């Protein structure tokens, strides 16, 4: 029998600091020390000590005292996330290009760069070298602004293992890549993951940055569960359970694009037949609408043309969208019946079709789900619609700080 590991004061302090930072990030309003003590269960004395550590390290800042709530004694001073000190770096390679994003702990984008490029049949080393060159000026600017870069994440359109191997990214034509062979990975040591699951992270309020207070964001709470669909040339997905992305035993959970809706259907790039991607992916829709085929079908101009023809009522475009929607409904309702969640977030290019399509999707899901008499399914547009996987990758970097603050703070 192995010896039990004891918890020392630093372990306890690290844990408590992490809990306090998480509580502040998830709150839609600023919290006083008394509010934080009540929310976390810490004593006021402990809270005062730890709050001073966070203030001295520019993790939080004090706001103006709230005089309106004072009946006696000193007014409470609210604490909120400070701007300009702590940053995470997101890296992404996708089917339409690659880029970087530096993200402040307060949720503001410090800097971002994206290179639009046809990524099919590209050389992985060339792309990773370009990504390295793209990230360096952002890192230099962070240093010039006195930011502390605490970590990074890497979003990829495929299956990624815990030992930094990209098993496959069929829409890029890449397979079995040891990611540590690339200099940018060795230099920044990002945590790599599937782009759909990192995009789902960016939708969770307060996951690694200050929670927003918009009315749209209020439809989701930090501990809500939902299914996220990432729709592009390929289709990815993620299941979020009580505010955490379900990764599965091997990190491959959520591959909704490769759920078959017809075992005799079109052949997918994964080798199977009738996958959702072959009906509802960008390429499949453009080809079904008779707009373009082959390499031309994945061009942005072709997708714009599909959207325009659909709005105009073109028969081929309408039929392609209807068939794609039916395939998505079949897959999503199956997943809902298996994992028992009541919220779907429709990300990627399908969100461009607006409320008309999402309302139809929501209606059909409510008609077909087994729990329809007790559960109301809702379909939401993404809170973060622009480069959500890139932002999610930056949040992965920030979580290194949030989860282990004493690795970075002067206590």
Fold of the 2-81 domain? Arc Repressor Mutant, subunit A (1.10.10)
Find the range with the poorest average confidence among 63-72, 94-103, 160-169, 223-232.
63-72
Query: Starting from the edge strand earliest in sequence, which strands make up the sheet with 244-245, in order?
Result: 244-245, 235-241, 226-231, 343-348, 378-380
Find the range with the poorest average confidence among 33-42, 76-85, 265-274.
265-274
**CATH top-level class for 86-208+389-405?**
alpha beta
Average pLDDT over residues 323-347: 95
Average pLDDT over residues 30-57: 94
Report the pLDDT value the prediction gives residue 215, as an integer from 0 to 100: 47
pLDDT digits over 156-212, tens only?
Answer: 999 999 899 999 998 899 999 999 999 999 999 999 999 999 999 999 999 999 987
Report the pLDDT value the prediction gives residue 368, as an integer from 0 to 100: 94
Q: Which residue has the tokens 């890029």?
A: 172
Average pLDDT over residues 289-299: 88
Q: Would you say 36 and 24 are in contact if contact means Cβ atoms under 8 Å apart?
A: yes
2-81 and 86-208+389-405 agree in CATH topology: no
Domain boundaries, the chain: 2-81, 86-208+389-405, 221-380
Mean pLDDT of the chain: 92
CATH 3.30.420.40 fits 221-380, yes or no: yes
pLDDT digits over 10-38, tens only?
Answer: 889 999 999 999 999 999 989 999 999 99
Secondary-structure breakdown of the chain: helix, strand, coil percentages, each rounded to the nearest 5: 45, 20, 35
218 has pLDDT over 60: no
Report the pLDDT value the prediction gives residue 75, as an integer from 0 to 100: 73
């Amino acid at each position: 029998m192995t010896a039990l590991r004891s918890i020392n004061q630093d372990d306890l302090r690290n844990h408590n600091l992490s809990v306090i930072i998480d509580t502040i990030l998830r709150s839609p309003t600023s919290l006083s020390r008394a509010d934080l003590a009540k929310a976390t269960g810490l004593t006021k004395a402990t809270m005062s000590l730890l709050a001073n550590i966070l203030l001295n390290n520019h993790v939080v800042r004090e706001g103006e005292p709230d005089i309106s709530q004072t009946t006696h004694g000193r007014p409470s001073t609210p604490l909120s996330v400070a701007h300009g000190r702590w940053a995470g770096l997101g890296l992404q390679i996708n089917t339409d290009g690659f880029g970087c994003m530096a993200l402040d702990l307060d949720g503001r984008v410090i800097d971002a760069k994206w290179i639009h490029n046809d990524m099919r049949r590209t050389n992985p080393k060339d792309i990773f070298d370009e990504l390295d060159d793209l990230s360096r000026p952002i890192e230099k600017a962070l240093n010039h602004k006195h930011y502390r870069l605490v970590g990074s994440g890497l979003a990829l359109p495929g299956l990624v293992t815990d030992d930094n191997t990209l098993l496959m990214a069929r829409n890029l034509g890449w397979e079995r890549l040891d990611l540590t062979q690339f200099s940018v990975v060795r230099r920044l040591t990002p945590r790599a993951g599937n782009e759909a699951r990192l995009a789902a992270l960016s939708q969770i309020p307060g996951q690694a940055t200050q929670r927003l207070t918009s009315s749209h964001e209020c439809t989701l709470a930090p501990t809500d569960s939902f299914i996220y669909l990432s729709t592009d040339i390929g289709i990815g997905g993620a299941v979020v359970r009580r505010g955490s992305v379900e990764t599965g035993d091997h990190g491959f959970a959520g591959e909704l694009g490769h759920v078959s809706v017809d075992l005799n259907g079109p052949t997918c790039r994964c080798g199977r037949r009738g996958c959702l991607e072959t009906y509802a992916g960008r390429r499949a829709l453009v080809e079904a609408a008779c707009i373009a085929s082959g390499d031309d079908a994945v061009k942005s101009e072709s997708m714009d043309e599909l959207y325009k023809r659909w709005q105009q009522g073109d028969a081929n475009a309408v039929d392609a969208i209807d068939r794609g929607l039916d395939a998505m409904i079949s897959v999503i309702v199956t997943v809902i019946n298996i994992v028992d969640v009541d919220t779907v977030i429709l990300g990627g290019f399908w969100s461009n079709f607006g409320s008309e399509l999402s309302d139809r999707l929501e209606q059909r899901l409510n008609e077909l789900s087994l729990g329809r008499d007790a559960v109301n399914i809702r379909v939401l547009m993404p809170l973060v619609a622009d480069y959500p996987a890139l932002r999610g990758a930056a949040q992965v970097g920030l979580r290194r700080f949030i989860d282990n603050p004493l690795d970075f703070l002067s206590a």
